[in-house]
Amino acid sequence: MTIKDIARLAGVSVATVSRVLNNKDKGVGDGTRARILRIIEETGYQPSPMARNLVLRKSRIIGLVVEDLQNPYYGMLMKGVQDGAREKGYNIILCNAGNSDERENHNLDFLTEQNVCGIIYNSFNKEKDFVLERIVKNKIPMVFVDGRGNMKGGNGIHVDNARAMEELVDRLVMAGHRTIGCLTGERHINSSEQRLAGYAQALEKNGIPLDPRLVVETKYLIAAGRLGMERLLERNIRGLTAVVCCNDLIAIGALECLQDKGIQVPEEISVTGFDDIDMCRHVRPRLTTVSQPNYDIGRVSVEMLIRLVEQEDRGRVDEVVFLPKVVVRESARGL
Amino acid sequence: MTIKDIARLAGVSVATVSRVLNNKDKGVGDGTRARILRIIEETGYQPSPMARNLVLRKSRIIGLVVEDLQNPYYGMLMKGVQDGAREKGYNIILCNAGNSDERENHNLDFLTEQNVCGIIYNSFNKEKDFVLERIVKNKIPMVFVDGRGNMKGGNGIHVDNARAMEELVDRLVMAGHRTIGCLTGERHINSSEQRLAGYAQALEKNGIPLDPRLVVETKYLIAAGRLGMERLLERNIRGLTAVVCCNDLIAIGALECLQDKGIQVPEEISVTGFDDIDMCRHVRPRLTTVSQPNYDIGRVSVEMLIRLVEQEDRGRVDEVVFLPKVVVRESARGL
DNA sequence: CTGAAAGCGCTTACAG
DNA sequence: CTGAAAGCGCTTACAG
C-alpha cells in the first residue's frame, strides 16, 4: 500500500494525496480531501517514513547520549525524552557514552551515519570536548543536558547543581555541623564539579575554611563511594559529623562503609546524596538527598531540540535552568 | 557527499561504487575496488541508510518492547540488546508496554509505521494476545523474551522460571522450612505465573500440601510487595517461616514491611526475591534471590532476531532456554 | 568487469 | 484546485 495506490483509489494524482497527507498547501478541494482522507482511513495506509525522510533529507531520529544506562538516575530522564519525542513522531536512538573516547567516537559515527536530526547529550565530561567539536562541525542541532554553564553554540538544560548543593550544606551548617566531608565523582564530570563548587561556596559563605583533606574524589558508583568513605575515615579528621556526596550511588556506598564499621548514621555521621534515585527510599537509614525533576528535564530537552530542528533557527541559544530541591529523609541529623 | 560524488571522483559509475559498498558481486576489478575504497576512506563518505533502506524495502530498526522501563531489571537486558544490535548496524526503538491496551496498540502502530524490521517482545502478559495477533498478521519477525512456553510461530528466549523457583523452594524445604508463603505478581504476567508454578511443584515434590492462604497476589512493585506482605501477615498463618517473592521489588517491599513490624529477617522469617537487580546487594539484609543472565538474554535475543530478519527463513522456530540460578545472600535462613 | 537505466515511495516547484 | 515531472540517494537486473 503506497501513495500511488491511494491516488488510484481516489482517482487523483499522487501529488494531491501528498498534499492532504502533509496537510499544508490548503489548496485541495474539500470534496477531494474528504474522499482521500476516507480512503486513507479505510485502507489504514501509512506513508513510508523512509521515502519521506529521503526526500526531505532529514530523519526523525533523535540521538540520546547518556553517561551510563545502568545509572538508575536515567530512567525517568529517558522516559521524559521518549514521551516527548513520540508525541511529535520522533524516534530515539539511545547511546551509552561509557568511559572511552573510542566508544564515544563510535557513538558519533553511528549517530551521523543514521542521520539523526539532532542530539541530546547528557554526558558532560570536560575531557570530551572533541565530541562537541565533532557535532558542531557536522552542524547537527543539539541540546546539552546538565552540561557546563557556558555551552556556547549549544542549547541546554541546566540543573543548578551548585546552588542546590550550597543550600544543602548551608542547612547542614545551620544544624550545627562544622566539619563536613565531601565525596565527589571524577574530576572531569561536570555535575560533580559543580556540586563540589556549591559545597565550597556554602562553607565560604559561613566563614568555614575549606580543609582540602575533607574532600575525596571517587566515582559515581556504589563501590567507589564505599572506598571513598573509607579513605576519608582513614584521614582521622577530628569532629567530622557529616559528609555530603555528589551522587546517591556514592552516598549509598558511604552508608554501607559506615555501617560495616559500626558507625551510626545519622547519630555519629550524617550522610547525604544527590539525584534522588529510587533506591534512596529503600536503604536504611533512608537517604536525605537532592531531587531533580528528571522526567521534566527529559521532556523539556526533547521539546527544545525538536523546536530547534523544525525551525531551523539554529542560531538562537535557549537555556532552561532547573533548581533541584533538598529531600529530607533520615540520613542527616538536624535538617 | 553521495554515491555520485564518489563515482565521479573515482571515474566510475555509481553501480560500481555500490558494488564495492555492498561487497558482494565479487565482480569488481581489484584496481578499481582499491581506488574506490581509498576515496571512500579519504572522504569519509557514509552511504545514506534512508536511501538504502528505501530500495531494499526494509529498515534496520528493531523494536524492543519491555514491560516497564523503570524496572531496574531491564537495564542489562537493554544493554545486551543494544550492543548486539549495534554490532550488526541495527538500531533500537524502545517501547514501554505499560499497562493499557491503548498504549500497547499505540506502540504497535508506531513500530509498524517506523517500518521496524523485527520486534523483540518482552512484555508477556497473557491478556495481550491481540498484540501477538497484530504482529503475526503484519508478518514482522519477532522473538519473545521470557514469554510463555508455547509461543507458536514466534521464536523465543525462555527463562526456566518454574525450575529455578522450584529449586529455590526445594532448598528452603531442605533447610527445614515447611510453611512457605508466596507473593506473586499479577496473574496475567507470565513470569509470575511460572514462578508460582515452580513453587507449587516444589511443595508437591516434597509432599507438602499447598495451602492457598499462603499465596497472595500483588504487583511487581515495592509498594505492592509491602502491602502483599501485610495481607499475608494478617492471615496469621501458624508456623510461617519463609516467603518467596516472584520478583525482587516485591521482596524488598516485604522486607520493609517486616522491618516496620519489628519482625527479624531471616531469624523469624526468611525472604527471597527473583531477578537479582542491583538493589538486592544494598538492602539489609542483603536479598537472597535468583539471577538471570540478563545481558546475555538481551544479546541472544537480538542475534536471534537478526538471523531471522536476514535469512528470511521465518518458518523456523528457535528456542533458547536459560536456567537462572539461586544467589544466596542474607535474607533466607538455612540456604 | 562495468555502465545505463529503472525503480524504491515520497515531496515540491512548475504549469495550467 | 490539480497534475506531470524531476529528484532524494541508493540497488540491481540487464546488457555489453
- Per-residue pLDDT of B219-231, as tens digits, reads 999 999 999 999 9
Look at residues B129, B71, B116, B126 and name the one whose alpha carbon lies nearest to residue B96.
B71
Q: Kindly state the DSSP code that residue A140 receives in the 8-state scheme.
A: -
Look at residues A52, A93, A63 and name the one whose alpha carbon lies nearest to residue B53.
A52
Give the H/E segment covering residue B297.
Answer: helix B294-311
The pLDDT > 70 percentage for chain B reads 91
Phi-psi region of B196 (alpha: psi -120 to 50; beta: other; left: phi over 0): alpha
A4-13, B134-143, B229-238, B286-295: least confident range: B134-143
Q: Does the CB of A113 sit below 7 A from strand D?
A: no
Residue B230: what are its φ and ψ, rounded to 5°? -60, -45
Cβ proximity of B255 and B270 under 8 Å = no
Q: Which residue of B has its CA nearest to A260?
A: B284
B272 contact partners, CB below 8 Å, separation of at least 6: B168, B172, B242, B243, B244, B245, B251, B287, B288, B289, B290, B331, B332
Q: How far apart are CA A66 and CA B12, in angstroms?
A: 42
Q: How far apart are CA A81 and CA A132, in angstroms?
A: 21
> Mind listing the pLDDT tens digit for each residue in B254-285?
999 999 999 999 999 999 999 998 889 999 99
Could you tell me the domains of chain A?
3-47 (1.10.260.40), 57-160+294-323 (3.40.50.2300), 161-292 (3.40.50.2300)
A20-29, A122-131, B37-46, B209-218: least confident range: A122-131
Q: How far apart are CA B195 and CA B184, in angstroms?
A: 8
Q: Which amino acid is at A255?
A: L
B86 CA to C6 C1', in Å? Answer: 33
Q: How far apart are CA B245 and CA B165, in angstroms?
A: 10
Bigger pLDDT: B122 vs B195 = B195
Task: Compute the average pLDDT of residues A28-47.
Answer: 89
Read off the C-alpha cell for A240: 567530622
> Looking at the predicted structure, is the pLDDT value of residue A317 above 70?
no
pLDDT at B23: 74
Average pLDDT of the residues of chain B: 87
Cβ proximity of B143 and B299 under 8 Å = no
Contact A114 B91 (CB under 8 A): yes
| Distance (Å) from the alpha carbon of B202 to chain A's nearest alpha carbon | 31
Contact A92 B96 (CB under 8 A): no
Q: How far apart are CA B303 and CA B318, in angstroms?
A: 11
pLDDT at A87: 82
* Residues 22-51 on chain A lying near strand D, CB distance under 7 A: 25-29, 31-33, 51
A55 CA to C9 C1', in Å? Answer: 10
Read off the C-alpha cell for B34: 582499491
> Mind listing the pLDDT tens digit for each residue in B9-47?
999 999 999 999 887 657 788 888 999 999 999 998 988
Gyration radius of chain A over CA positions = 25
> Mind listing the pLDDT tens digit for each residue in B44-65?
898 888 888 889 887 888 989 8
Task: Compute the average pLDDT of residues B228-238.
Answer: 97
* Residues 19-38 on chain A lying near strand C, CB distance under 7 A: 19, 21-22, 24
- Under 8 Å CB pairs connecting chains A and B tally to 85
B121 CA to C7 C1', in Å? Answer: 34
Give the H/E segment covering residue B8.
Answer: helix B3-10
Q: How far apart are CA A148 and CA A125, in angstroms?
A: 9
Q: How far apart are CA A268 and CA A257, in angstroms?
A: 13
Task: Tally Cβ neighbours within 10 Å of residue A135.
Answer: 23
pLDDT at A7: 92
Phi-psi region of A334 (alpha: psi -120 to 50; beta: other; left: phi over 0): left
User: Helices (DSSP H) in chain A: which residue ranges?
Assistant: 3-10, 14-22, 30-43, 49-56, 74-87, 101-113, 129-138, 161-174, 190-205, 222-234, 248-260, 294-311
> Mind listing the pLDDT tens digit for each residue in A116-163?
888 898 866 666 667 677 777 777 888 888 765 445 556 788 889 999
Chain B residues near residue A82 by CB distance under 8 angstroms: 69, 94, 96
The dihedral built from the CA positions of residue A17, A22, A28 and A31, taken in this order, carries a sign that is positive
Task: Compute the average pLDDT of residues B199-209.
Answer: 97
Q: Does the CB of B53 sit below 7 A from strand D?
A: no
Q: Does the CB of B206 sit below 7 A from strand D?
A: no
Chain B residues near residue A73 by CB distance under 8 angstroms: none
B1 CA to D12 C1', in Å? Answer: 22
Which bases on strand C have an atom closer than 7 Å to a protein beta carbon?
Answer: 1-5, 7-13
Cβ proximity of B166 and B196 under 8 Å = no
pLDDT at A124: 63
Partnered with residue B272 across adjacent β-strands are B244, B288
A95 contact partners, CB below 8 Å, separation of at least 6: A63, A64, A65, A66, A107, A110, A111
> Mind listing the pLDDT tens digit for each residue in A210-252?
999 999 999 999 999 999 999 999 999 999 999 999 999 999 9
Nearest to A70 among B69, B75, B86 (CB): B75
Bigger pLDDT: A23 vs A325 = A325
Task: Compute the average pLDDT of residues B101-118.
Answer: 78
Q: Kindly state the DSSP code that residue B126 receives in the 8-state scheme.
A: G
Query: B334, exposed or middle or buried, with CB in 10 Å at 0-12, 13-18, 19+?
Result: middle
Chain A residues near residue B61 by CB distance under 8 angstroms: 91
Whose cell is 563510535? That residue is A106
Bigger pLDDT: B1 vs B68 = B1
Q: How far apart are CA B273 and CA B251, in angstroms?
A: 5
B55 CA to C7 C1', in Å? Answer: 8
pLDDT at A150: 45
For chain A, what's the residue count? 335
The pLDDT > 70 percentage for chain A reads 91
Q: Which amino acid is at A14?
A: V
> Mind listing the pLDDT tens digit for each residue in A46-105?
888 888 888 988 788 898 988 777 777 788 888 899 889 888 878 888 887 766 777 777
For chain B, what's the residue count? 335
| Distance (Å) from the alpha carbon of B114 to chain A's nearest alpha carbon | 6
